[in-house]
Structure 1
Amino acid sequence: MVDIAAPALRPANSHFSSGPCSKRPGWSLDALSDAPLGRSHRAKVGKDKLKLAIDLTREILNVPADYRIGIVPASDTGAVEMAMWSLLGERGVDMVAWESFGAGWVTDVVKQLKLKDVRKVEAGYGELPDLSSIDFDRDVVFTWNGTTSGVRVPNADFIPADRKGLTICDATSAAFAQDLDFSKLDVTTFSWQKVLGGEGGHGMIILSPRAVERLTTYVPAWPLPKIFRMTSGGKLIEGIFTGETINTPSMLCVEDYIDALKWAKSLGGLNALIARADANAKVIFDLVAKNDWIANLAKVDETRSNTSVCLTIADPDVLALDADDQAAFAKGMVTLLDKQGIAFDIGAYRDAPAGLRIWAGATIETSDMEALMPWLTWAYQTQKATLSKAAA
């Protein structure tokens, strides 16, 4: 390895992973001391905690009063699957995908649910598909923010208010960092371990009145596993949306989510969370604007994520390498930063183009993001010098 002078300032927090994401500033295990461990989640103390988590979610996300909010199994994945298996099949569906997780939902609908009337509206990494081509007389499944591509929809203007189909939105890396227009969303899902830095394994599902109507009037042609069932005898199981979870939740994780929600509320709620994510992302965008060796994977500025910021190495010498060597160059940077204890888990997602993925959500302090930037340059220069030496 070639020696390049390292920056003097180090981030105080090196956790820049895109999921599970960094805990809130100042977090410690002491914050979970009120968790009702060893108690039933069906006891009053357990139900009260679960209802508090739901109520705080509604308050901070500004979820309309007539929308249901439920805590469900298996993280965001479980919530999306629950929605698709319970609601799709009543009419044709447009599956909208531009990154790995969206593509996964397409696969599940085509190969697992085996729906016949499926249209794919797709784009490659770094781009959005043509949103004007979506037919909202059909059901529509899409991600708000592509966690593995760093590309998001800029707003919900592309969704008509008078749509006939349902919109099912995977919002896991958008919720609490981007302004979700619930009037345009019939099902919204996310997990605790993204913007609020909660623990894994629990998902959230938010249902509009239109989604509830579909649930209570449409019966899918396939059997539903217990953990997907939101109705019984043609009626909504209301308890799911007041804290009576389908299966046993971790009350330690519930307490951690409540702690993160209370922290968010203390900052000023959603607007404050969005502002923190925007400020963190701007630090990265400023680095990109000032250096020609790095680029944002998102090709259009208004579609750039403010949470999972995905970057590519734009140096012509690196781009001249074959795909494996480009990936090795980026991985070398990631390894250098990991070994220095500067940034953990910032490699691009395994299916995405080679590069970096840096979490900029609200639990990251902007001062830490600012301290990271010179280290990115250091890692690049070190790798580049090594590459030049090898070529000499």
Structure 2
Amino acid sequence: MLDPRAMPKQKPVSPNFSSGPCKKRPGWSLNQLDNALIGRSHRSQAGKAKLLEVITLSKKILKIPKEYKVAIVPGSDTGAMEMAMWSLLGPRAVDVFVWENFSQIWLTDIVQELKLKNVREFISEYGKIPDLEKTDPNHDIVFAWNGTSSGVKVPNGNWIDDNRTGLTICDATSAAFAMHLPWDKLDVTTWSWQKTLGGEGAHGMIALSPRAITRLTDHTPTWPMPKLFRMVSKGQVTDKLFEGETINTPSLLTVEDALDGLRWAEEIGGLTALTKRCTDNLSTFTKWVEKSTWCKFLAEDYNIRSESSVCLKITSPDIDPALYPELAKTITQKMQDANIALDCGAYRTAPAGFRFWSGATIEQKDITIALQWLDYFYNETINNLK
């Protein structure tokens, strides 16, 4: 058994544990982008073919039903979620579930920007999840499937009524390609390229069920709609949007990178292989936490613990809890300075601790080594804080 006080002899092959943009796939290099349509129009035949391939491969790997429409949209997952809320909310009451930073942002936008009045708020602290069973099937529902900043995920879709009349709007940015999503329960689903497949930022994806498509044509928002959010023209859904004709100009260099990640995912076995890599990575953290005397999962309930965004909280009995933030900050800096784990600090509003991306592009061995260093830097730092 390794002595946690001894300096580890190895370093991770990759220190990139950022929760977005995330680590590139194993074996990635800039040479993978040689076929990018540099200097070409995204509206050219070749450009539209690349964009459509992103949509087609995404639907195939995620096992999205054929009758769902999928589009590439501006502004990463944030843009996709804003597009969904501004386009679809209004005709029904809304239930919003909040347990981390980004779902709090969606609540703020619904109440303060869209100024909807009939809104029910279900809020819990970091590491926990609200009572999902309290939702009303006649209401629209807005929630994140996986809380990137809290390490908490929705355990399943059983709480969503099959006979609902409202729409479910799901932020799945750190769940897509990392977890199996029950598409029959999801009417609007959003994600970005920069998470599980390690793509670049700025581009988002939105998947719409037939029910969501019907809402688009049956409901006209009472507020002005920015061009970047418009999915309807003259009362009709803009079908070309779901065939690769984007609203604004995408980066075709980034498109090529997204295609590289999708092709890699397909080559290694698709969603089954991707989710297995994530669960295997989580098991490495689980084994470490079970032996740790000073650190635990922020999500104590295994059933809601994320396998893509692992959040840890300091629980050391050796120092005053008031010193936890300083301890976490010092260790995080040491991990960065030694090029062991970059960007592994907890989210700024979360309890003192650490956050490691553990999506499918992360190698299990790198996690094992990084955690050895985490123990080492803890023991090195703790004596100076007592």
Aligned to 2:355: 357
Is residue 2:325 matched to residue 1:321?
A: no
State the shift of 1:386 in Å: 1.8
Task: Output the CA distance in 2 between the equivalents of 1:361 and 1:16.
Answer: 9
In 1, distance between residues paired with 2:345 and 2:264? 29
What letter matches 2:256 in structure 1?
A: E
Letter in structure 1 aligned against 2:45: K
- Please give the alpha-carbon distance, in whole angstroms, between the structure 2 residues aligned to 1:136 and 1:369: 41
Per-residue CA distance 1:281-304 (angstroms, 9 max, x = gap): 110111001112110000211100
Q: Partner amino acid for 1:326? A: Y
- Aligned residue type for 1:321: P
Mean alpha-carbon deviation: is it higher for 132-141 or for 166-175?
A: 132-141
Q: Could you list the structure 1 runs, at least 4 aligned residues long, displaced by more than 6 angstroms after superposition.
A: none
Alpha-carbon distance in structure 2 between the residues aligned to 1:158 and 1:380: 41
Matching residue of 2:116: 115
Mapping for residues 290-305 of structure 1, pairs under 5 Å:
290-305=291-306
CA distance, structure 1, for counterparts of residue 382 and residue 180 of structure 2:
39
Q: Unaligned stretches of 5+ in structure 1?
A: none
What is the one-letter code of the residue matched to 1:383? T
Separation in structure 2 between the aligned mates of residue 326 and residue 188 of structure 1, nearest angstrom: 37
- TM-score normalised to the size of structure 1? 0.96
2:225 aligned residue: 224
Matches within 5 A, 1:10-89: 10-89=11-90
CA distance in 1 between counterparts of 2:216 and 2:93 reads: 16
Question: 1:329 is paired with a residue of what secondary structure?
Answer: helix
SS at match of 1:317: coil
Number of residue-to-residue matches in the alignment: 383
**How far apart, CA to CA, are the structure 1 residues paired with 2:243 and 2:58?**
12
Aligned-pair CA distance for 1:317: 3.0
Q: Report the counterpart of residue 263 of structure 1 in structure 2.
A: 264
**1:100·1:148 contact (CA, 8 Å) conserved in 2?**
yes
Task: Measure how far apart 1:385 and its partner are.
Answer: 1.9
CA distance in 1, matches of 2:212, 2:381: 51
CA-based RMSD = 1.0
Distance in 2, matches of 1:383 and 1:330, equals: 10
* Residue identity in the other structure for 2:291: K
Residues 56-97 of structure 1, C-alpha deviation per residue, up to 9 Å, x if partnerless? 000100000000000000000000000000000011100111
Match of 1:372 in 2: 370
Secondary structure of the residue aligned to 2:321 is coil
Matched residue SS, 1:71: strand
Which residue in 2 is equivalent to 1:187?
Answer: 188
Partner of 1:172: 173
- Which of 348, 357, 360 aligns to 2:346? It is 348
Residue 367 of structure 1 deviates from its aligned partner by 1.4
Other structure's SS at 2:195 match = coil
Letter aligned with residue 114 of structure 2: L
Deviation at 1:105, TM superposition (A): 0.4
- Over residues 295-348 of structure 1, what are the superposed CA-to-partner deviations in whole Å (9 max), with x where a residue is unaligned? 000021110000110000111234x332xx321110111011111110000000
Given that 1:121 and 1:134 are in contact with CA atoms closer than 8 Å, whether structure 2 keeps it comes out as no
CA distance in 2, matches of 1:250, 1:346: 28
Residue 241 (structure 1) shift:
0.4
**Alignment partner, residue 334 of structure 1:** 332
Cα deviation for residue 376 of structure 1 reads 1.1
Q: How far apart, CA to CA, are the structure 1 residues paired with 2:46 and 2:164?
A: 41
Residues in 2 aligned to 1:290 and 1:321: alpha-carbon distance in whole angstroms: 20
Aligned residue for 2:199, secondary structure, equals coil
Alpha-carbon separation, structure 1, partners of 2:208 and 2:61: 16
- The percent identity for this pair of structures is 53
Give 3-state SS (helix, strand or coil) of 2:72's partner. Answer: strand
Q: Which moved more, 1:372-381 or 1:176-185?
A: 372-381
Give the structure-2-normalised TM-score.
0.98
In 2, distance between residues paired with 1:384 and 1:138?
Answer: 50
* SS at structure 2 position matched to 1:188: strand
Equivalent residue for 2:100? Answer: 99
Question: 1:198-222: CA deviations, max 9, x gaps?
Answer: 0000000000000000001100110
CA distance in 2, matches of 1:92, 1:107: 15
Cα displacement (A) at 1:6: 1.2
**1:384 maps onto 2:376 in alignment:** no
**Residue by residue, what CA displacement relative to the aligned partner does 1:237-279 show, whole Å, maximum 9, x if unpaired?**
0011010000000000000000000000000000100000111
Aligned runs of 1:225-244 on 2, under 5 Å?
A: 225-244=226-245
